[in-house]
Chains A and B, each alone.
Chain A
């Protein structure tokens, strides 16, 4: 019966525009900075430490307090509750408490009638520092075991013995840089005091619950007094997970003192100086392998630069360790993670969350093995891929049950024949002495779920009104990734009503409590399921009403195409909504979901942390000028596994965007600190993110259209982070081009990011090695 009825056109598995598309193209979508401020609202500005490590001997705010328009100046001692917003650890202050641990740390804040007055007053704050020696280099922190958290260790088999017995053995060191999020909308919050000790906080945050908790701690009030709301962010990428709480916290403390609404919006330079970034890493490896490049044992150190405080470094490092296998079976392995402490800004969540660094480490090793043996990198990869039903246990003990990497690689080869492509590149290089081309592939396997099991839960709240329109709310946040659109599609699909009947509303701790951050690519997996649950509860109630109305069994009621059918008879969704109200059926429900079957033992660093894996593969062709180090990506082919995509248009955008952002991390984005530990790249003039000209000239993306084997939301797969790591193909292709100088016998000594300077140095290094002078 139902097969003859039309499914709505705006349900799942459909390429629909972003729910705010019209608002975005007309400028009417409201971001925090666009919100009209309540009357009497004040503006805030912050004072940053110029020193990387110093004791604060005194702070004199008297001049600042007397400056025109100033209502309040606050330092650490003015925080009524606890000056600590650590998401995992303790002692992570929002205002430096007598000690500054990085240049750029916020020392004081001012609220004034105008922004200019606030910023002028900040300059009148007098701070006396006693400068202390600073640790700025990650290697120095490794040598001295300076840590922000406990080390993480994963080990399987007799590593030292197997290494000693291996036919081939290589060791070396590599590094990769950090990355600024450079969300176009900088960090911003507006705190509005309410009755008594209530506080409403509007925050550009991926984690409204953490803002709620952070503000409550700072003010010393119960969580129930604080409500955090966010409708949308102008990009976040992980940078507004823990960091947003700093900004919201300062706004709230000022609002508390002034009893007025306070807006704090960091200027771009302050944003880049004061807030955390992607972790730079140092890797040391010792690998034993056979004549085919099959890894027999790997001993790998992954040292993450955590910066000044713990922040999210432990889970970032943990994810790095859990992705240092990428797609490869490591039979005997030692992975050691060091969460290092330096006097630099706290590094934090950033798309991939350690995964990119872990994968870069193993890909570096694979590349070295291939050059050492004089065989193709892809051949070495194939020798090491996880098996199906054998050689399928990860170093952390999870069985890779859904391995489709060989299939994904075959799809990539079908998209463009890799052997022919390689032959074209080699032919080009033979006749081109200065410009050398490189080609590399990059397979990925990315674990989906938060490593910490308790974060894998979500809630939703749905109301059906008597006119048939639907109010949708869930705990996920919208940062441009299309989450609100996808979850609305889930609800439209469930009720079989047009998408424009579903109104997505701002994420608020007052509607859905105790939420997890919108992170780990899990947004639609978790919130989509929670919304499905709520919609299904209401639909079942409405079905009962319809069955009674038509006098048929409930199983004969079909929701399709905005109507509710019983055989040849039907009524509209609106009519049924009104009927349900009349019959006193509740048209509101809270939904809930928790990911089944996942576990993690923090003592042994083992378990089944991931519900499933997302796969993908990319091949990139680059051209490198060996006299200048300039690089261009000429062509990239991508095959990516989004399961049965909820919205192919959104997923394609995520793949392209993640890939290009990954390219930025690995090529043009370089963070430079001076000898005093001051970041010198704190604006778009000095920190280069990819622009329109940096996108590969040819970029073809295909979705591997296969349902997730796990019963995820309509069998889709998470999309936010996994494609980021496909960009490692670009970094490997640049290495391949440099390696071509040696006839691919020597691996390029090239770390990330492969800036023009570093590429040139690596090319010169290669030439010197070939000439026997290095």
Chain B
């Protein structure tokens, strides 16, 4: 075994699997086909047949064998052992699973792992420097108590790093707007804004 399938499911509704089966078109299908083509000898008729997936996560190459429909979030959590990215809603609406793919923030629960091949994936575990020194954004979150329960925090921090790099952290209003995809039920929002304001200056210096 060693592989799992998509975990999203709405009772009585459309789940990710049926969605993919019905409409797996657009950008995702060619990627999947490409992935499958890499191992043409395995049974192509079985959609569950695992495919080889090569990912570069936090500067390290990972060779995995996955169901082609495995999300990046499940890949990170279940197959690579990086559990920092959280599963809050698993439907792309809470932001707890946010990671960076080539520096762009993406919702890893709505991204298939195969789509991230050839990209540089950064998770919360890869943000600190190799000597363990915290990223300015991580330090700022500590300095400003920008969390309570901590569950949304990895996603908030990854999103915040991208928010600054995108140039969307100019004013408090900008920060609120461009961080609005990351929910925090403890509502540490004022402190998150303060943390981003601190870190953006540090990041500029770096």
A-side residues, CB < 8 A to B, are: 17-18, 20-31, 33-34, 48, 50, 113-116, 119, 181-186, 232-237, 267-270, 273, 479-482, 649-650, 652-654, 656-661, 683-685, 689-693, 695, 699
Complex partner residue of B7 from A116, A653, A661, A699, CB under 8 angstroms: A116
Q: Kindly report which residue of chain A lies nearest to residue B3, judged by CB atoms.
A: A114
Which one of B22-30, B38-46, B186-194 is at the interface?
A: B186-194
Which of chain A's residues have a CB closer than 8 A to the CB of B157? Answer: 25
Instruction: Provide the residues of chain B in CB contact with A17, threshold 8 Å.
Output: 142, 145
Could you list 27 examples of A-B contacts with CB < 8 Å?
Answer: A17-B142, A25-B157, A26-B124, A27-B83, A31-B86, A33-B86, A33-B87, A114-B5, A116-B6, A116-B7, A184-B86, A185-B151, A235-B148, A237-B185, A269-B10, A480-B150, A653-B148, A653-B188, A656-B191, A658-B187, A661-B185, A683-B10, A684-B94, A690-B187, A692-B179, A692-B184, A693-B180
Q: How far is the CA of A649 from the CA of B179 in the complex (A)?
A: 23
Interface residues in B163-201 (C-beta closer than 8 Å to A): 175-177, 179-180, 182-193
Alpha-carbon distance between A235 and B145 when the two chains are bound, in angstroms = 16
Interface of B is mostly: loop
- Flag if B10 contacts A660 (CB, 8 Å): no
B149 touches A479 (CB 8 A): yes
In the A-B complex, the 5 residue pairs with the closest CB atoms: A27-B84, A480-B149, A234-B151, A24-B150, A660-B187
The answer for the CA separation of A17 and B182 in the assembled complex, in Å, is 22
CA distance A24 to B188 in the complex (A): 13
**Pair B1/A114 contact, Cβ less than 8 Å:** yes
- How far apart are B46's CB and chain A's nearest CB, in angstroms? 13
A104 and chain B: residue at smallest CB distance? B11
- Partner of B187 from the list A28, A119, A649, A661 (CB cut-off 8 Å) is A661
Residues of chain B within 8 A (CB-CB) of A116 are 4-7
From A113, A182, A482, A692, give the contact of B148 (CB < 8 A).
A482
Given contacts A26-B125, A270-B11, A683-B89, 11 further A-B contacts (CB under 8 A): A17-B142, A18-B145, A24-B147, A25-B147, A26-B124, A27-B154, A185-B86, A268-B90, A273-B11, A692-B177, A692-B184
Shortest distance from the beta carbon of A280 to any chain B beta carbon, whole Å:
20
- Report the Cα distance A661→B184, complex, angstroms: 10
Residue contact B151 to A235, C-beta cutoff 8 Å? yes
Interchain CB contact under 8 A, B148 and A657: yes
Residues of A within 8 A of B49 (CB): none
* Chain A residue, CB-CB nearest to B181: A691
Nearest chain A CB to B136 CB, angstrom units: 11
In Å, the complex CA distance between A656 and B188 comes to 7
Given the known A-B contacts A17-B142, A26-B138, are A693 and B89 also in contact in the complex, defined by CB atoms under 8 Å?
no
Would A113 and B1 count as touching, CB distance under 8 A? yes
Return A64 CB to nearest CB of chain B, in Å. 15
- Complex CA distance for A33 and B151, rounded to whole angstroms: 11
Contact B183 A684 (CB under 8 A): yes
From A480, which residue of chain B is reached at the shortest CB distance? B149
Question: Considering the chains assembled together, what is the distance between the CA atoms of A119 and B16 in angstroms?
Answer: 13
Measured in the bound complex, the distance between the Cα atoms of B151 and A31 in whole Å is 8
Query: Number of contact residues on B: which range applies?
Result: 35 or more
- B63 touches A (CB below 8 Å): no
Q: Which of A50, A236, A267, A482 gathers most chain B CB within 10 Å?
A: A267
Q: Please tell me if B108 contacts chain A, counting CB pairs below 8 Å.
A: no
Q: Does B134 contact A (CB under 8 A)?
A: yes
- Tell me the number of A-to-B contacts counted with CB atoms below 8 Å: 188
**Most B-side CB within 10 Å, residue of A22, A116, A182, A692:** A692
Are A28 and B84 in contact, with the CB atoms below 8 A?
A: yes
Q: List chain A residues, Cβ under 8 A from B85.
A: 27
CB pair A683–B91 under 8 Å, yes or no, is yes
**Does B59 lie at the interface of the complex (its beta carbon under 8 Å from any beta carbon of A)?**
no
Asked whether, in the complex, the Cβ of B148 is within 8 Å of the Cβ of A23, the reply is: no
Q: Which residues on A sit within 8 Å (CB–CB) of B134?
A: 25-26
State whether A684 and B185 are in contact (beta carbons under 8 Å apart), knowing that A17-B145, A33-B87, A185-B86 are contacts in the complex.
no
> B147 to nearest A CB, angstroms?
5
Residues on A with beta carbons closer than 8 Å to the beta carbon of B138: 25-26
CB–CB A234/B150 < 8 A: yes
Bound-state CA distance A583–B90 (Å) is: 57
Chain A residues lying within 8 Å of B1, measured Cβ to Cβ, are 113-114
User: Cβ of A234: which chain B residues have Cβ within 8 Å of it?
Assistant: 86, 149-152
Nearest-Cβ distance from residue B80 to partner chain A, whole angstroms: 13
Which residues of chain B are within 8 angstroms of A181 by Cβ–Cβ distance? Answer: 185
Shortest distance from the beta carbon of A723 to any chain B beta carbon, whole Å: 11
Contact of B149 among A186, A235, A690, A695 (CB under 8 A): A235
Closest chain A residue, CB of each to CB of B186? A657
Among B8, B84, B96, B127, which residue has its beta carbon within 8 angstroms of that of A184?
A: B96
**A119 and B17 alpha carbons, distance in the complex (Å):** 12
With contacts A33-B87, A683-B91 known, is A657 near B152, CB below 8 A?
Answer: no
Whole-angstrom distance between the Cβ of A730 and the nearest chain B Cβ: 13
A268:B175 contact, CB within 8 angstroms: no
Give the Cβ gap from B124 to chain A, nearest Cβ, in Å: 4
Cα A654 to Cα B85 with chains together (Å): 24
B16 CB, min distance to chain A CBs, angstroms? 11
Give min CB distance, B194 to chain A, whole Å. 11
Q: Which residues of B contact A269 (CB under 8 A)?
A: 9-11, 13
**B residues 20-60 touching A (CB-CB < 8 Å):** none
Residues of A within 8 A of B7 (CB): 115-116, 119, 267
A37 CB, nearest partner CB in chain B, Å: 10
* B88 within 8 A of partner (CB): yes
Nearest chain A CB to B185 CB, angstrom units = 5
The answer to whether the Cβ of B153 comes within 8 Å of any Cβ in the partner chain is yes
**Contact indicator A21/B86 (Cβ below 8 Å):** no
Cβ B93 vs Cβ A684 within 8 A? yes
Q: Would you list which residues of chain B between 54 and 95 have a CB under 8 Å from chain A?
A: 77, 82-91, 93-94
Report whether A695 and B189 are in contact in the complex, using a CB–CB cutoff of 8 Å.
yes
From B11, B124, B189, give the contact of A660 (CB < 8 A).
Answer: B189
Q: List A contacts of B149 (CB < 8 A).
A: 183-185, 232-236, 479-480
* Min distance, Cβ B84 to any Cβ of chain A, angstroms: 2
- For the complex, what is the distance from the CA of A234 to the CA of B93, rounded to whole Å? 17
Q: Nearest chain-A residue to B4 (Cβ)?
A: A114
Q: Which of B1, B147, B149 has the most CB of A within 10 A?
A: B149
